[in-house]
Structure 1
Amino acid sequence: MTESASSARQLPRGRHGLPRAEVIASQRERILSAMADAMAENGYVGTSVAAILKRAGVSRETFYEQFRSKEDCFEAAYQRAVELLIANIANAVDGPESDAWDNDSSDPDRMGRILEAYFEGLIAEPAYARLYLVEVYAVGSKAVARRAQMQESFVALIADILDARTEQQRFACQTLAAAVSAMVTAHIAVDDLAGLRALREPLLDLVRRSGDLYGDAVSRQSEVRA
């Protein structure tokens, strides 16, 4: 498994004169990346604090200055994974459109950009993706509940993009988000990143053929094109 691309650089050896806050931030980032990389290879249960320390290049004292336990470290790494995904999706929604995205600015086409950003964000950080989607279920009910909350945020985003107005449309958006999550998790679990990327087009095609199942945006766009 490729190490997380977001791994912080190692601090220079000896007296470097860096501010204490910068040192702490660098150590924290290295610990979180080490946690994700170690779990990608050995799973949450098989990952020890000692293994994290070895990868991060920090002392046990440094680890426990920042985290109460392995679970506490996992929660921080999980939050980091969420931040990376949110930033990627935000750039897709608010930033300049890529040539690979649809040029139409209507809501269903924004769905395509968001799916692309979601998948590419996971592919760019496979260790964090595995932590976020797979290993979270080994940690306990608190972590799983947090994962469910994040999925509801994704549901709200889909509902807003597709203009879901009724309870039935909202429920359809929930089923779509659950299906995306299940399929993505299956591909991440077996390191099938090419298969993950290939999900975008059939999922987008499903939404475009859905009429007003998920919301009014698709049918409204069809009327304009007709």
Structure 2
Amino acid sequence: MTTDAATGDFRARLLAAFEASIAEDGYAKTTIADIVRRARTSRRTFYEHFSSKDECFMALLAEANADQVRSIAAAVDPEAPWQRQARQAIEAWIASGESRPDLTLSWIRDGPSLGAAGRDLTRESMEHFIDMVTALVDSAQFRAAGIGPVSRQRIIMLLGGLRELTAITVENGGTLSDITEEAVDATIALFTPR
């Protein structure tokens, strides 16, 4: 194994261990000792990759958001009717949240505790989601329906609403798939031409 591969492996193990700790104990109660124990490595290895628990959390969130953006974009068929594309995107959003409910909720609720760095990460992540939605809406099917370009403000309303609805649903012990129809209907309503 090369040094780069070993470094990537340790980093991946630390991130996976942190996510497992969040699922079991929550972000606030997770310690670096918990992370290294789960990752079966040392504090020294942790500090070779991250300067703090918060930096590790931000790396985990950044990777999770990038994965979510990629999975949503890949799930949408640009040749499908635009309403079907909206459904595909929402279903992919929900599937992503359901695959990592504890991390999803922790990102929404614990992310603000990261201060300025957390706000920067939130803005950066939102920009990636805005870019993805903008690209998805910039398709022949949307244009043929008279849709586009969709304003940045409208996309932010959609994403902010989905994010909060996701958090409330998970906090209340609900299943994200229960919100599918409402989320699809709201998305279509936001994008339907006047």
Tell me, yes or no, whether TM beats 0.5: yes
Conservation of the 8 A alpha-carbon contact between 2:158 and 2:187:
no
Q: Normalization by structure 1: what TM-score?
A: 0.70
Correspondence for 1:77 among 48, 60, 68: 60
Deviations 1:91-127 (A, max 9, x none): 20369xxxxxxxx712232111111111101211234
Conservation of the 8 A alpha-carbon contact between 2:101 and 2:170:
yes
In structure 2, relative to structure 1, the CA distance for the partners of 1:129 and 1:138 (3 Å cut) is same
Report the Cα offset of residue 149 of structure 1: 3.4
2:94 corresponds to 1:123: no
- For 2:89, the equivalent position in structure 1 comes to 114
2:41 corresponds to 1:41: no
* RMSD of equivalent CA atoms: 2.6
In structure 2, relative to structure 1, the CA distance for the partners of 1:197 and 1:148 (3 Å cut) is farther
Q: Normalization by structure 2: what TM-score?
A: 0.81
Larger radius of gyration: 1
Alignment of 1:65-104 (within 5 A): 65-93=48-76
In structure 2, C-alpha distance between the alignment counterparts of 1:149 and 1:21, rounded to whole Å: 27
- For 1:11, the equivalent position in structure 2 comes to none
For 1:110, the aligned partner's letter is Q
Greater share of helix residues, 1 or 2? 2
Correspondence for 1:51 among 22, 34, 41: 34
- For 1:186, the equivalent position in structure 2 comes to 168
2:177 corresponds to 1:197: yes
5+ residue gaps, structure 2: none
In structure 2, relative to structure 1, the CA distance for the partners of 1:207 and 1:50 (3 Å cut) is closer
Conservation of the 8 A alpha-carbon contact between 1:32 and 1:77:
yes
Deviations 1:47-100 (A, max 9, x none): 2111111111111111111111112111211112112212211220369xxxxx
Report the Cα offset of residue 190 of structure 1: 4.2
Runs of 4+ in 1 over 4 A off after TM superposition: none
- Percent identical pairs in the alignment equals 23
- For 1:145, the equivalent position in structure 2 comes to 120
